[in-house]
Structures are given as structure tokens and as C-alpha cells.
Amino acid sequence: MKQNSAIVIGAGIVGLATARALAIRGYKVTIFERNEQAVGASIRNFGMIWPIGQATGPLFERAMLSRSIWKEICTEANIWHNEVGSLHLAYHDDELQVIQEYVEANHSYRECSLLDPREAILKSPAINTVGLKGALWSAEEMIVESRVAVGQVAKYLAEKYDVEFHWNTAISNISHPKVLSGDRVWEADEIFVCSGADFETLYPELFLSLDITKCKLQMMRLVTQPDEWRIGPSLCGGLSMIHYPGFQAAASLPALRKRYEEQYAIYLKWGIHVMVSQNGSGELTIGDSHEYGLVHDPFDKEFINKLIIDYLHTFANFKDWKLLQSWHGIYPKMMNGETELIKEVEPGVTVINGIGGNGMTLSFGLCEQFIASR
């Protein structure tokens, strides 16, 4: 019996998730990546697997499915991961009210609870305790070091499922069953285009026809904290509650947003909400901002980084605030309310894209569900 074959374009998290879902179903999978390793949005993030950001229902279930797949792969491949959970910190009564409503709406579906200041401080030594009124605790969030983990997942797929990788191979044309890189040609039964914003190059007319844009985010990393000091859970300020759809379950969220629109107008203008995660080396990843448009300034804006750090000081205390790195990432995002783009562009060729800023959280679940449903 002939083995089904598939080609995947892109070795970022969506491409790897697609390859895994196909490989466990017996496909012979070949991945083409234009660089010598994944260097796009998949490695330029917090490394957060972040179910709390998804609304209760199908997307939360997808996030939890992703989390379970991440956990399975990390355990099998000995990839560093940390099931630290998360804390959203409240310093005003309206923030606390949103958290209370969130917990009331979600406690039967998620492992979450409202903590008083004493309980919150026991979870993390990094909390700014001045004016703290309480916190939302969620146990479900997990951290990986995305810069390393994405490459380790690729190695795992190659070793366990014999997935074949062609690095430094830019695909210039696709005509099922063929993909071409210059004069070189490969064939497969099915082709999946998972190349992030690069799919615009392969399908420019399709890209222009879609209600899609690109998001630029700015992030930073602080140095390894001294004496193996750990912050515990990932920490978030109140601005994150108006950023993530999961918090729309709180009836008083519009009132909180209205205050932020007055008090933090410049933060909202640049799409800033502030979070921090810690990797296995003790470094702190902080961010981020969101600028939308088809073309972005290639230079980072120093004032955005300053706004992020200033707001971070309102809810976090670290041992060492020295800046190690700053960078930006760019990812495609659907603007019509859709949470992903899955489109058959010709028989046998499917684009999987447009997951927005949720690639680490949703990709494994999305691709598992999509491949399983065909």
C-alpha cells in the first residue's frame, strides 16, 4: 500500500504542528524552510502557551489540546518547559471587579481563582506589593524557550517520525503536485503552505484579496536574575485583561477599558499590554506592543520600549533590570474576526495561516483538529 506524502512549506510553529499531525497519521512529510532555521515570529515571542487568553469554548479547548501536545513533545524530547501558571495583578477596584467576574464565569471550566494580596505574594516574589488588591491565578499556562524549542521540535519530528527537512530552500512556485525552488522540483500528494507572512510572496493576489494585515510587536529581554532567583508564574498587568478575548466574560470589562482609554491612551494607541515570563536560564522576557499595517518601519521605537518598562514597574519588582536584548517580530493577522486562515488554493494545496499572536498557544491544537477532520 502506497504511503501518503505531504510537503509543508515553513518550519515555524504552524508548519511543525501541521507536520506532526500528518506524520502521526502515517504520512511521509517533507518540510521546506527558506532559512537555515526558523527565525520568524515563532521564535520572537514570550514562549507562552497561554490558554487564559482564549475565550471559554472551542478556542480554549484548542489551547488546552495544544498544551497537552506541547507537554507530550517536551517530555519525550527533553525540551525545557515550565508549568508555572499565570497571575494577573489588580491595583484598582475596577481591575479586581473584572477578575472576580472572570472567576465567577470560568471557575467550573478552568483551574482559576481570585487571590487576596497575601496569597498572591506567596505565588511570586516579583510582585510589586504597593497598592496590591488581589490577583487572578490560573494554573494552566506553560512556558517554553521558543528560540530553542522550535528547533528542538523540528529535531524531534525528524528523529521520531522521519520528517525530512530541506533548510535554506526557498520555494518559489507551487503547482500541485509539484513545488519548485528555482530549477529543483519535488512532488507530494498534498501540499501545505505554513510560511507566516511569507505566503504573500507565493500567493500575492490571494493575500491582497483577504482581510488580512501584519502586526509588528516590540519585545525585550532582561538579564539572568542573580542567585537563581525565579519569579514563579508569568505576571501580567491590568492592560492584558482588555487585550485578551478571554476576559470578555466579565461584564464590567467595558468600564475598565473606558478608564484605560483615558489614563493609558498612548498605550492603547500602540497596542501595548505588559507581561513577563522567565526562561530556564533566568532571563526575563517582557513586552509587548502591536502595530498593524501591511508595511512596517524596520526600526524599533525606543519610546515604546520605555512605555513597556514604565508600566512593568507598576506591578513587578526584579533583582536586576539590566536590558539584554530588544527585537521585533511580524506576523499576519486576520482583521475580519476570524481566528485563522485555512484555505484550499487549488486541489491538494492548502494555506494554513493567520493565527495572529496565538501561534504558540493554538497551532498544535488547530493543526491536529484540521488534519483529523478531513
Segment 102-141, tens digit of pLDDT: 999 999 999 999 999 999 999 999 999 999 999 999 999 9
pTM equals 0.97
Asked whether residue 84 is domain-assigned, the answer is: no
Residue 253 lies in a domain: yes
Whether 66 maps to a domain, the answer reads no
Residues 153 and 21 in one domain: yes
The verdict on residue 140 lying in a domain is no
Do both 330 and 361 map to the same domain? Answer: no
Share of the chain above pLDDT 90, in %: 97
| Domain co-membership, 186 together with 275 | no
Residues 219, 321, single domain; the answer is yes
Question: Does residue 219 sit in the same domain as residue 287?
Answer: yes
- What average pLDDT does this structure show over 173-191? 97
Residue whose C-alpha cell is 497596542: 271
Q: Quote the distance between the C-alpha of residue 138 and its chain's center.
A: 17
- Burial string for 5-23 (b: 16+ CB within 10 Å, else e) reads bbbbbbbbbbbbbbbbbbb
Whole-number Å distance between alpha carbons of 71 and 88: 23
pLDDT value at 199 more than 90: no
355 shares its domain with 287: no
Domain membership of residue 53 (yes or no) is no
Same domain? 307 vs 222: yes
CATH number of residue 155's parent domain: 3.50.50.60
- HSE, CB side, 13 Å, CA atoms: give it for residue 145: 15
Assess if residue 19 is contained within a domain.
Answer: yes
pLDDT at 345 over 90: yes
State mean pLDDT over 245-251: 94
Please indicate, yes or no, whether residues 30 and 161 belong to a single structural domain of this protein. yes
- Tell me the mean pLDDT in the region 251-278: 98
Q: Which domain holds residue 254?
A: 122-131+212-334
Q: What is the pLDDT of residue 197?
A: 81
Domain membership of residue 152 (yes or no) is yes
Complete edge-to-edge strand list for the sheet that includes strand 173-175: 173-175, 178-181, 184-187
Same domain, 191 and 236: no
> What is the number of structural domains in the chain?
2
Domain identity same for 318 and 217: yes
In the prediction, which pLDDT does 1 show? 82
Averaged pLDDT of the chain: 97
Residue appearing with cell numbers 493567520: 354
Question: What are the residues whose beta carbons fall under 8 Å from the beta carbon of 141, sequence distance 6 or more?
Answer: 48, 49, 50, 51, 52, 83, 84, 85, 86, 233, 234
- Whether 281 is in a domain gets the answer yes
Whole-angstrom Cα distance, residue 150 to residue 43? 7
Mark whether 248 and 304 lie in a shared domain: yes
Asked if 265 and 345 sit in the same domain, the reply is no
Question: Residue 278 maps to which CATH number?
Answer: 3.30.9.10
Cα dist from 190 to 4, 111, 201, whole Å: 8, 39, 20
Crossing angle of the two packed helices 359-373 and 58-77, in degrees rounded to 10: 100
pLDDT band at 198 (very low <50, low <70, confident <90, very high): confident
Q: How far is CA 157 from CA 17, 73, 160, 194, in A?
A: 10, 9, 5, 16
